[in-house]
Amino acid sequence: MTRAGHTLEPAYFDAVYASDPDPWKFASSAYERDKYAITLAALPQSRYVSALEIGCAIGVLTEELASRCDRLLAIDAARTPLKEARRRCAELSTVRFEQMFVPEQWPDGAFDLILLSEIVYYLSADDVVRLASRVSASLASEGNVVLVHWTGETDYPLTGDEAAELFITCMDQTMLAERRDRHHAFRLDVLACR
């Protein structure tokens, strides 16, 4: 399998969503449902003041995560899934959505939870380093970073393991990996401030 040598641009995701409004079956897959439950159960704090979800897609996890956050900013690089995410979470006044392409674009503010679910492996190694710098600058003291990545074979720039390990290494000066859990087909890493 040939691996992409560069960060996947928003046009890649726009094309994927153009052919299927839920291409990864976020709303119907048992894998996704189980992964979301495990992710929420792994959050170290019962409640967060201000959370950032990067790569929210159609907002299935966003909807569940919102109950644990006073404020939740959910972002995605593609426009199409954000329409469905906004519809899905329309009744949740604490949730806000923005179209942003990270690490090039980044929101203002500080967050005590930054969730990177199935997103870091779409980036080149250089952009993972840039992303880690952005996360470090935006994380509130006592904050958490949660990484979730599929560990199967892909044609993305990085595998799930490569992406997670590189990100964790970049964060090593400021954060400690408190959990490095492996589940069927995915890994979950929880980082806390040192």
DSSP string, 15-45: HHHHH-SSTT-TTT-HHHHHHHHHHHHH-SS
Task: Identify the pLDDT of residue 1.
Answer: 67
Structural domain contains residue 1: no
For residue 126, give both structure tokens.
């250089």
CATH assignment at residue 38: 3.40.50.150
Structural domain contains residue 2: no
In 3D space, the residue among 21, 37, 189, 31 whose CA is nearest the CA of residue 120 turns out to be: 189
Mean pLDDT by 10 residues, the chain (194 residues): 85 93 94 96 97 98 98 97 97 98 97 97 98 97 96 94 97 94 96 92
Structural domain contains residue 79: yes
Across the strands, what pairs with 69?
A: 48
Q: Please provide the size of the chain in residues.
A: 194
* C-alpha span between 42 and 51 (Å, rounded): 15
Structural domain contains residue 4: no
Number of domains forming the structure of the chain: 1
Task: Identify the pLDDT of residue 43.
Answer: 98
Structural domain contains residue 140: yes
Structural domain contains residue 56: yes
For residue 103, give both structure tokens.
């690490």
* Domain interval for residue 145: 10-193
Entry pTM: 0.96
**E strands in 77-174:** 95-99, 111-117, 139-150
Helix (H, G, I), strand (E, B) or coil at 169: helix
Across the strands, what pairs with 191?
A: 145, 177
